[in-house]
Structure 1
Amino acid sequence: MAIKQTDNPLTIAIVGSGYMGGGIAQVLALAGHTVIISDVSAEVAENNRKRLLTESDQFVADGLFEAGSTATIDAHLTAAASIEEAVAQAQFVEEAVPEKLDLKRETLARISAAAPVDAVIASNTSTIQIGAMASAVDHPERFLGVHFSNPSPFIPGVEIIGHDGTSEDTFAAAEAVVQSTGKQTARIKDVTGFVLNRLQYALFHEATQLVDEGVASVEDIDTVVRTTFGFRLPFFGPFAIADMAGLDVYAFCYESLQQGFPERFATPKILKDLVDAGKLGTKSGAGFLNVPAEDTPELVAYRNKAYVKMQQLLDELGPAPVTY
């Protein structure tokens, strides 16, 4: 993994140096930021710093980090004796303590009291609404969610979630920090589950229903997901996939699904409106995407090349070491 060092390094504190917080610290240190980690004690923070360096050595050996990455992390990452010491000079703070609302509010209050008044304060929560924590932060306009995914050194997408009072300057600052590491950001409204987990758990829920109904085994469902629509997802999201399939085709499929599940698979209004307007996706030059019909062959060529490359990569890696 190659991370270009930022031209605008910041002092960043990570509060909570476990698996998620530690991975975030590695990424930010590799980008050239000055990163200070803290935890429940100075000893825990220092031990986690050593672990992150050892872990980096293994990543380098496995070809996952570039040569020299451990030295870069070592030069940019320090452990503080306390939360207060870690955040005292920070321009950006990422809270990454366990997913317990009371613990997060308590931690955020300590961060808020000790950090500079203009420091951006973020939470790495994956499930707790940002608005439920905002009152723990003085000047809550500087508070938002910055949700890295597991494993944070290797997953490129990060959700940026504001509460009702988050300022535009705070959004911009958080996006700049994340993008300085080479990751991609998406702004999300403050709803339960945000986007990632609403989609992820919707899929998981439907998969468990299929198992409970005896439709297919766990193994066969996993096979279908990873070898069919899941195979497309590294390159295209659900709206791009729908456009290429044809929104009229999606509408017909919804009608078919409604024979067995009339409420669960009611046709989405946004889809019906596009089809009624004759916007059927790439074949009509309009849909969720705005791809002119004359550009469709280029998109199809990219799609086909991407899928062949994906299969070549999977063949090179071999099957995942899992058993059912």
Structure 2
Amino acid sequence: MTIKDTISTAAVVGSGYMGGGIAQVLALHGYKVMLGDVDGETAEGARVRLVQQAKGFEAQRLLPEGAAKTIEGNLVAAASIEEAVAAADYIAEAVPEKPDLKAAILRRVSAAAPSHAIIGTNTSAIPISELAASVTGPERFLGVHWMNPAPFIPGVELIPGEDTDPSVLARAEELIRSLGKTPARVADTPGFVANRLQFALYKEAARIVEEGVATPDQIDAVVSNTFGFRLALFGPFAIGDMAGLDVYESAYRTLEKAYGERFAAPEALAATVREGNIGLKSGHGFLDIDPAEKDALLAYRDNAYARLSQLRAELGQAPGL
């Protein structure tokens, strides 16, 4: 296939909360964005809402001065989905997470879009190769999974399907970086990475409630003020390497004794510890952290945690919680 050297026009199909946020980000960064939805009236209503919302964000200094004007100048409501995608270089599909609906929309989108257009689906968990069966030209199709709220969450998962052309993946990554976001390439499996981890945590939290160990509000307090606090700045492997993988393996032994095999230490962890690689204190763990950077990393960590604590104190308690 042939894709353009540059992306200048975009379409967002599905202008609800997620699609609307994606459209705002694209428009703010100078891309002409056509909004497509069930009909032109719905798309126009979304355009008006997104501009007004951007004005509110700007007034709160969540977006830079002039952002709302830029977004307004780059957003256009299309009369139909087909019109929205007809001249697009990049298309973001963001309709509700229903496989049949996404398949139907992707058939319409890929039939009406230019052959060079890259098509990204914002599915949260549906395998890309499953959805690709509904796309004409699946080599230009991939998962581009944003997190909610799209204007403010920096990470975006990029998920190639079996047929995705490597050049399409590279161009999509360039686009996401141009939006000030942080892309991560991950494999095509149900739930990908973010939601597989997120839903595993949610399931265990619900189980703790069912067992009467803690209430939902108590669990939220523990998570947001302990390891969840750290996760705002570091991923689980960085945190584990700083804490010590030998400590982790020992904790797993206690958990396995209490809860069974589901809490057995992962073999990858056990093997790493057997090799003497227990993290930052041994010079190597799951991550290859330069020992010369140890003191600087720990100083960064402490400073980051202190500043995050200060920010939370300034923000105060979340309303209603």
User: The TM-score by the shorter chain falls in which range?
Assistant: over 0.9
Which amino acid in 1 is paired with 2:283? G
Q: Offset at 1:138? A: 1.4
Question: In 1, distance between residues paired with 2:82 and 2:187?
Answer: 30
Question: In 2, distance between residues paired with 1:8 and 1:190?
Answer: 26
The answer (yes or no) to whether the contact 1:14–1:36 under 8 Å persists in 2 is: yes
Question: In 1, distance between residues paired with 2:121 and 2:213?
Answer: 40
Give the SS at the match of 2:156: strand
Give the SS at the match of 1:322: coil
Which amino acid in 1 is paired with 2:24? Q
Question: In 1, distance between residues paired with 2:174 and 2:104?
Answer: 27
Which amino acid in 1 is paired with 2:129? G
Give the SS at the match of 1:12: strand
Question: In 1, distance between residues paired with 2:71 and 2:290?
Answer: 46
Question: In 2, distance between residues paired with 1:263 and 1:55?
Answer: 48
Q: Offset at 1:285? A: 0.7
Question: In 2, distance between residues paired with 1:89 and 1:215?
Answer: 56
Question: In 1, distance between residues paired with 2:197 and 2:15?
Answer: 28
Q: Which residue of 2 is the match for residue 194 of structure 1?
A: 192
Give the SS at the match of 2:248: helix
Give the SS at the match of 2:163: coil
Which residue, out of 265, 272, 275, partners 2:273? 275
Q: Offset at 1:8? A: 5.4
TM-score normalised to structure 1 length: 0.96
Q: Offset at 1:165? A: 1.2
Question: In 1, distance between residues paired with 2:281 and 2:42?
Answer: 57
Q: Which residue of 2 is the match for residue 52 of structure 1?
A: 50
Q: Which residue of 2 is the match for residue 21 of structure 1?
A: 19
Q: Offset at 1:14? A: 0.5
Stretches of structure 2 lacking an aligned partner (at least 5 in a row): none
Q: Which residue of 1 is the match for residue 305 of structure 2?
A: 307
Q: Which residue of 2 is the match for residue 235 of structure 1?
A: 233
Describe how 1:68-83 pairs up with structure 2 within 5 A: 68-83=66-81
Which amino acid in 2 is paired with 1:135? A
Q: Offset at 1:215? A: 0.9
Q: Which residue of 1 is the match for residue 262 of structure 2?
A: 264
Q: Offset at 1:136? A: 1.1
Alignment of 1:287 with 2:285, yes or no, is yes
TM-score normalised to structure 2 length: 0.96
Describe how 1:242-261 pairs up with structure 2 within 5 A: 242-261=240-259
Question: In 2, distance between residues paired with 1:295 and 1:68?
Answer: 40
The answer (yes or no) to whether the contact 1:9–1:34 under 8 Å persists in 2 is: no
Q: Which residue of 1 is the match for residue 204 of structure 2?
A: 206
Give the SS at the match of 1:160: strand
Describe how 1:59-138 pairs up with structure 2 within 5 A: 59-138=57-136
Give the SS at the match of 2:263: coil
Q: Which residue of 1 is the match for residue 138 of structure 2?
A: 140
Question: In 1, distance between residues paired with 2:303 and 2:87?
Answer: 48
> When the two structures are aligned, how many residues end up with a matched partner?
317
Question: In 2, distance between residues paired with 1:161 and 1:288?
Answer: 23
Q: Offset at 1:293? A: 2.6
Give the SS at the match of 2:145: strand
Which residue, out of 1, 21, 28, partners 1:30? 28
Q: Which residue of 2 is the match for residue 173 of structure 1?
A: 171
Question: In 2, distance between residues paired with 1:138 and 1:34?
Answer: 24
Q: Offset at 1:322? A: 2.4
Question: In 1, distance between residues paired with 2:243 and 2:232?
Answer: 17
Q: Which residue of 2 is the match for residue 3 of structure 1?
A: none
Q: Deviations over 1:46-99 (max 9, x none)?
A: 111011111011111111111111110111111111111111111111111111
Q: Which residue of 2 is the match for residue 11 of structure 1?
A: 9
Stretches of structure 1 lacking an aligned partner (at least 5 in a row): 1-6
Question: In 1, distance between residues paired with 2:260 and 2:16?
Answer: 45
